[in-house]
Protein backbone atom coordinates (compact mmCIF):
# COMPACT_ATOMS: atom_id res chain seq x y z
CA UNK A 1 0.00 0.00 0.00
CA UNK A 2 1.37 3.39 -1.01
CA UNK A 3 1.75 6.00 1.67
CA UNK A 4 0.10 9.40 1.55
CA UNK A 5 2.38 12.41 1.10
CA UNK A 6 2.91 15.20 3.62
CA UNK A 7 4.41 18.30 2.00
CA UNK A 8 6.86 20.40 3.99
CA UNK A 9 6.19 23.98 2.92
CA UNK A 10 3.51 25.88 1.04
CA UNK A 11 3.77 28.21 -1.93
CA UNK A 12 4.54 28.06 -5.64
CA UNK A 13 7.14 25.30 -5.52
CA UNK A 14 4.98 23.13 -3.26
CA UNK A 15 2.06 23.63 -5.67
CA UNK A 16 4.25 22.65 -8.62
CA UNK A 17 5.46 19.44 -7.00
CA UNK A 18 1.99 18.60 -5.65
CA UNK A 19 0.67 18.71 -9.22
CA UNK A 20 3.18 16.04 -10.30
CA UNK A 21 2.50 13.92 -7.23
CA UNK A 22 -1.26 13.93 -7.70
CA UNK A 23 -1.57 13.86 -11.49
CA UNK A 24 1.51 11.98 -12.69
CA UNK A 25 2.09 9.64 -9.75
CA UNK A 26 -1.59 9.34 -8.72
CA UNK A 27 -0.67 9.85 -5.09
CA UNK A 28 -2.55 11.66 -2.34
CA UNK A 29 -1.35 14.79 -0.55
CA UNK A 30 -2.65 14.32 2.99
CA UNK A 31 -1.46 17.57 4.54
CA UNK A 32 1.06 20.40 4.56
CA UNK A 33 3.40 21.37 7.39
CA UNK A 34 5.30 24.61 8.06
CA UNK A 35 7.31 25.94 10.98
CA UNK A 36 5.00 27.13 13.73
CA UNK A 37 6.09 30.76 13.33
CA UNK A 38 4.80 30.66 9.72
CA UNK A 39 1.53 28.91 10.54
CA UNK A 40 -1.06 31.59 9.74
CA UNK A 41 -3.72 29.35 8.13
CA UNK A 42 -5.05 25.93 9.03
CA UNK A 43 -5.80 24.97 5.41
CA UNK A 44 -3.94 25.11 2.09
CA UNK A 45 -5.29 23.88 -1.26
CA UNK A 46 -8.11 22.20 0.61
CA UNK A 47 -5.71 20.24 2.84
CA UNK A 48 -4.95 20.79 6.54
CA UNK A 49 -1.80 22.63 7.56
CA UNK A 50 0.04 21.73 10.76
CA UNK A 51 3.11 22.96 12.61
CA UNK A 52 6.26 21.09 11.63
CA UNK A 53 7.15 20.84 15.31
CA UNK A 54 4.07 18.63 15.89
CA UNK A 55 4.54 16.05 13.11
CA UNK A 56 5.56 13.25 15.45
CA UNK A 57 2.28 13.63 17.36
CA UNK A 58 0.08 13.82 14.26
CA UNK A 59 1.38 11.44 11.58
CA UNK A 60 1.77 7.67 11.70
CA UNK A 61 5.12 6.62 10.23
CA UNK A 62 3.50 3.64 8.51
CA UNK A 63 0.94 5.80 6.72
CA UNK A 64 2.81 8.84 5.37
CA UNK A 65 6.06 9.88 3.78
CA UNK A 66 7.37 13.42 3.49
CA UNK A 67 8.44 15.64 0.60
CA UNK A 68 10.46 18.83 1.13
CA UNK A 69 8.42 21.35 -0.85
CA UNK A 70 10.34 24.60 -0.60
CA UNK A 71 13.40 26.04 -2.35
CA UNK A 72 15.29 29.33 -2.44
CA UNK A 73 18.85 30.56 -2.77
CA UNK A 74 19.31 30.78 1.01
CA UNK A 75 17.15 27.78 1.87
CA UNK A 76 19.01 24.77 0.46
CA UNK A 77 20.73 24.00 3.75
CA UNK A 78 17.34 24.28 5.50
CA UNK A 79 15.94 21.67 3.12
CA UNK A 80 18.65 19.30 4.31
CA UNK A 81 18.04 20.24 7.95
CA UNK A 82 14.35 19.35 7.62
CA UNK A 83 15.29 16.16 5.83
CA UNK A 84 17.65 15.13 8.63
CA UNK A 85 15.13 15.98 11.36
CA UNK A 86 12.47 13.82 9.71
CA UNK A 87 14.90 10.95 9.23
CA UNK A 88 15.83 11.15 12.92
CA UNK A 89 12.12 10.91 13.77
CA UNK A 90 11.88 7.76 11.68
CA UNK A 91 9.87 9.09 8.73
CA UNK A 92 10.42 8.12 5.12
CA UNK A 93 11.40 10.73 2.54
CA UNK A 94 10.91 9.07 -0.80
CA UNK A 95 12.16 10.13 -4.21
CA UNK A 96 9.57 11.90 -6.35
CA UNK A 97 10.31 10.81 -9.93
CA UNK A 98 8.27 11.92 -12.93
CA UNK A 99 7.22 9.12 -15.28
CA UNK A 100 9.12 10.65 -18.23
CA UNK A 101 12.50 10.67 -16.46
CA UNK A 102 15.09 8.22 -17.83
CA UNK A 103 17.30 6.77 -15.09
CA UNK A 104 19.92 4.11 -15.68
CA UNK A 105 19.58 1.02 -13.47
CA UNK A 106 23.32 1.45 -12.86
CA UNK A 107 22.82 4.86 -11.24
CA UNK A 108 22.68 5.18 -7.43
CA UNK A 109 20.38 7.55 -5.59
CA UNK A 110 19.70 8.50 -1.98
CA UNK A 111 16.35 9.71 -0.68
CA UNK A 112 14.20 12.81 -0.74
CA UNK A 113 15.15 13.79 -4.29
CA UNK A 114 12.73 15.44 -6.74
CA UNK A 115 13.19 14.50 -10.40
CA UNK A 116 10.94 16.32 -12.86
CA UNK A 117 9.96 15.65 -16.52
CA UNK A 118 12.50 14.42 -19.08
CA UNK A 119 15.49 14.28 -16.76
CA UNK A 120 18.24 11.94 -18.00
CA UNK A 121 20.52 10.19 -15.49
CA UNK A 122 23.21 7.93 -16.98
CA UNK A 123 25.08 4.89 -15.72
CA UNK A 124 27.54 5.36 -12.90
CA UNK A 125 25.85 8.51 -11.61
CA UNK A 126 25.72 8.82 -7.81
CA UNK A 127 23.17 11.16 -6.21
CA UNK A 128 22.85 12.01 -2.53
CA UNK A 129 19.77 13.26 -0.69
CA UNK A 130 17.29 16.10 -0.98
CA UNK A 131 18.22 17.40 -4.45
CA UNK A 132 15.90 18.98 -7.02
CA UNK A 133 16.38 18.22 -10.73
CA UNK A 134 14.12 20.32 -12.93
CA UNK A 135 12.92 19.44 -16.42
CA UNK A 136 15.40 18.26 -19.08
CA UNK A 137 18.44 18.06 -16.82
CA UNK A 138 21.12 15.72 -18.21
CA UNK A 139 23.69 13.97 -16.02
CA UNK A 140 26.24 12.10 -18.10
CA UNK A 141 28.12 8.98 -17.01
CA UNK A 142 29.81 8.86 -13.60
CA UNK A 143 28.63 12.28 -12.43
CA UNK A 144 28.51 12.68 -8.64
CA UNK A 145 25.90 14.91 -6.98
CA UNK A 146 25.93 15.55 -3.23
CA UNK A 147 23.08 16.86 -1.09
CA UNK A 148 20.54 19.70 -1.21
CA UNK A 149 21.38 21.04 -4.67
CA UNK A 150 18.93 22.81 -6.98
CA UNK A 151 19.50 22.02 -10.65
CA UNK A 152 17.38 24.16 -12.97
CA UNK A 153 15.91 23.19 -16.35
CA UNK A 154 18.27 22.40 -19.20
CA UNK A 155 21.38 21.94 -17.05
CA UNK A 156 23.99 19.50 -18.38
CA UNK A 157 26.84 17.83 -16.49
CA UNK A 158 29.54 16.06 -18.52
CA UNK A 159 31.13 12.79 -17.46
CA UNK A 160 33.06 12.50 -14.18
CA UNK A 161 32.03 15.99 -13.04
CA UNK A 162 30.92 16.59 -9.46
CA UNK A 163 28.36 18.85 -7.83
CA UNK A 164 28.95 18.85 -4.10
CA UNK A 165 26.42 20.32 -1.64
CA UNK A 166 24.02 23.28 -1.54
CA UNK A 167 24.80 24.40 -5.09
CA UNK A 168 22.54 26.23 -7.52
CA UNK A 169 22.86 25.54 -11.25
CA UNK A 170 20.81 27.91 -13.41
CA UNK A 171 18.75 27.33 -16.53
CA UNK A 172 20.79 25.95 -19.46
CA UNK A 173 24.06 26.07 -17.53
CA UNK A 174 26.63 23.29 -17.90
CA UNK A 175 29.72 21.74 -16.34
CA UNK A 176 32.69 20.35 -18.24
CA UNK A 177 34.19 16.86 -17.90
CA UNK A 178 35.78 16.19 -14.54
CA UNK A 179 34.97 19.64 -13.16
CA UNK A 180 34.06 20.02 -9.47
CA UNK A 181 31.52 22.53 -8.16
CA UNK A 182 32.46 23.19 -4.53
CA UNK A 183 29.85 23.62 -1.80
CA UNK A 184 27.51 26.61 -2.22
CA UNK A 185 28.61 27.38 -5.78
CA UNK A 186 26.10 29.57 -7.64
CA UNK A 187 26.03 29.13 -11.42
CA UNK A 188 23.82 31.57 -13.30
CA UNK A 189 21.70 30.85 -16.36
CA UNK A 190 23.59 29.83 -19.49
CA UNK A 191 27.02 29.69 -17.83
CA UNK A 192 29.58 27.04 -18.83
CA UNK A 193 31.93 25.99 -16.00
CA UNK A 194 35.20 24.48 -17.22
CA UNK A 195 37.37 24.75 -14.07
CA UNK A 196 36.92 23.65 -10.45
CA UNK A 197 35.20 26.25 -8.28
CA UNK A 198 35.76 27.40 -4.71
CA UNK A 199 33.11 27.43 -2.00
CA UNK A 200 30.59 30.28 -2.37
CA UNK A 201 31.82 31.18 -5.87
CA UNK A 202 29.21 33.07 -7.91
CA UNK A 203 29.11 32.90 -11.71
CA UNK A 204 26.71 35.16 -13.60
CA UNK A 205 26.65 36.42 -17.20
CA UNK A 206 27.80 39.85 -16.00
CA UNK A 207 30.97 38.33 -14.52
CA UNK A 208 31.93 36.44 -17.66
CA UNK A 209 34.07 38.01 -20.35
CA UNK A 210 31.88 38.85 -23.35
CA UNK A 211 32.56 37.27 -26.71
CA UNK A 212 35.07 39.22 -28.76
CA UNK A 213 33.46 41.02 -31.65
CA UNK A 214 34.70 40.38 -35.18
CA UNK A 215 35.29 43.59 -37.08
CA UNK A 216 33.01 43.86 -40.09
CA UNK A 217 35.96 44.26 -42.50
CA UNK A 218 37.59 41.10 -41.18
CA UNK A 219 34.28 39.26 -41.46
CA UNK A 220 33.86 40.33 -45.10
CA UNK A 221 37.39 39.11 -45.93
CA UNK A 222 36.68 35.80 -44.17
CA UNK A 223 33.43 35.29 -46.06
CA UNK A 224 34.97 36.24 -49.41
CA UNK A 225 37.69 33.62 -48.94
CA UNK A 226 35.04 30.95 -48.43
CA UNK A 227 33.41 31.62 -51.82
Tell me, what's the pLDDT at 205? 82
Q: Which residue pairs from 12-16 have beta carbons closer than 8 angstroms and sit at least 24 positions apart in sequence?
A: 13/69, 13/70, 13/71, 14/69, 14/70, 15/45
**Percent residues over pLDDT 70 in the chain:** 90
Question: Three-class SS string for 78-139?
Answer: HHHHHHHHHHHHCCECCCEECCCCEECCCCEECCCCEECCCCEECCCCEECCCCEECCCCEE
**pLDDT score for 224:** 38
What are the residue boundaries of the structural domains of the chain, listed by start? 4-94, 96-209
Yes or no: say if 121 and 141 are a contact pair by the CB < 8 Å rule: no
Give the pTM: 0.88
pLDDT in tens, 153-196: 999 999 999 999 999 999 999 999 999 999 999 999 999 999 99
CATH H-level superfamily of 96-209: Hexapeptide repeat proteins (2.160.10.10)
Q: What is the mean pLDDT of residues 72-83?
A: 83
- CATH entry, 4-94, from 3.40.50.300, 3.40.50.720, 3.30.360.10, 3.40.50.170: 3.40.50.720
pLDDT in the model for residue 77? 80
Q: Are strands 43-44 and 47-51 parallel, antiparallel or unpaired?
A: antiparallel
Q: Could you read off the pLDDT of 99-147 as tens digits, one per residue? A: 999 999 999 999 999 999 999 999 999 999 999 999 999 999 999 999 9
Amino acid sequence: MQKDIVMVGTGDFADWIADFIENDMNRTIRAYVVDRKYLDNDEYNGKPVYAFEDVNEIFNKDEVSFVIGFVGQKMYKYRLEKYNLLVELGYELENIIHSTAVISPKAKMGNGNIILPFVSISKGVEIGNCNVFCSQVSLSHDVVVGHANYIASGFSAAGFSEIRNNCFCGVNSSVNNGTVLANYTFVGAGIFISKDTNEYDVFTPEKHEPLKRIKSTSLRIFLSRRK
